[in-house]
Amino acid sequence: MTDLTGKVAVVTGSARGIGKAVALRYASLGARVVVNYFGDDQVAGSTVAECRAAGGEAIAVKADVSKVEDIERLYRSTREQFGRIDIVVANAGFEIVDQPVLEATEEQFDRIFAVNTKGAFFTLQKGAKYVADGGRLILIGSSSTASPVPGTGLYSSSKMAARQLVRVLAAEMIERSVTVNTILPAPTDGAGVFTDLAQDAPEHEFFARIRFGQRLGRPDDVADAAEYFAGDLASYVSGQSLLLSGGAIV
């Protein structure tokens, strides 16, 4: 079992969905967790309470990852509260799907790239600066960067830049023994555009035909991978992308 006792983990966009699952998992393994969020204070507070109930210390820090000054404040607040940073999970982002490239607008482009590209870049860049030697940097990417999917031109291209950044940053962090890796979740029930997916939605039937367990992915599947990358078993793994698709070809 992974032991994160004494480790400090910053998880962006972790009030709900995949980020919440990762934060809860780390807390259950003994980590002190910083729940970053941008929206609802009450939802973030509830996640903090769940992290504490799971066995870890936790605080919430409101910060917009599309603003570098907010990212700096997020890390500053973490160090002021806990004294160090050991794990950073760059998860914050949002999706625009079923959007043909020919219909994409400049406003949509600016919005999604501000969070998914700029936000991820500076979360990882500043995280690399402040993380302790031997630490972990983890990007939550998207399976849509693994193969072209119609309707995801804006989304997948906004995610691809950070995926390449992980490979470069991994090489640059070797001397400090900091690993840098990416998790590529396929469509996940309870996250992103599938956050409120009804149990009788046709997506369930479709994915049941092509996935292990005949189901959509779940946030805990991503938390499993995030646990691995954060733990000792992954200490010699860096610059890698782990596709979580349940065996589906994407």
Burial of 5 (0-12, 13-18, 19+ CB in 10 A): exposed
**pLDDT tens digits for range 183-211:** 999 887 756 555 555 565 555 555 656 56
- In this structure, which topology does domain 8-244 adopt according to CATH? Rossmann fold (3.40.50)
Where do the structural domains in the chain lie, given as residue ranges?
8-244
Dist CA 89 CA 23 (whole Å)? 9
Which range has the worst mean pLDDT, 15-19, 122-126, 195-199, 219-223? 195-199
For residue 3, what are the contacts with CB-CB under 8 A and spacing of at least 6? 29, 30, 231
Rg, C-alpha atoms of the chain: 17
Give one DSSP letter per residue of 123-165, joined into a string: HHHHHHHHSPTT-EEEEE--GGGTS--TTBHHHHHHHHHHHHH
Q: What confidence tens digit (pLDDT) does each residue in 80-137 have?
A: 999 999 999 999 998 888 889 999 999 999 999 999 999 999 999 999 999 999 999 9
CB atoms within 10 A of CB 76: 13
Residues present in the chain in total: 250
Rounded Cα gap, residues 13 and 98, in angstroms? 23
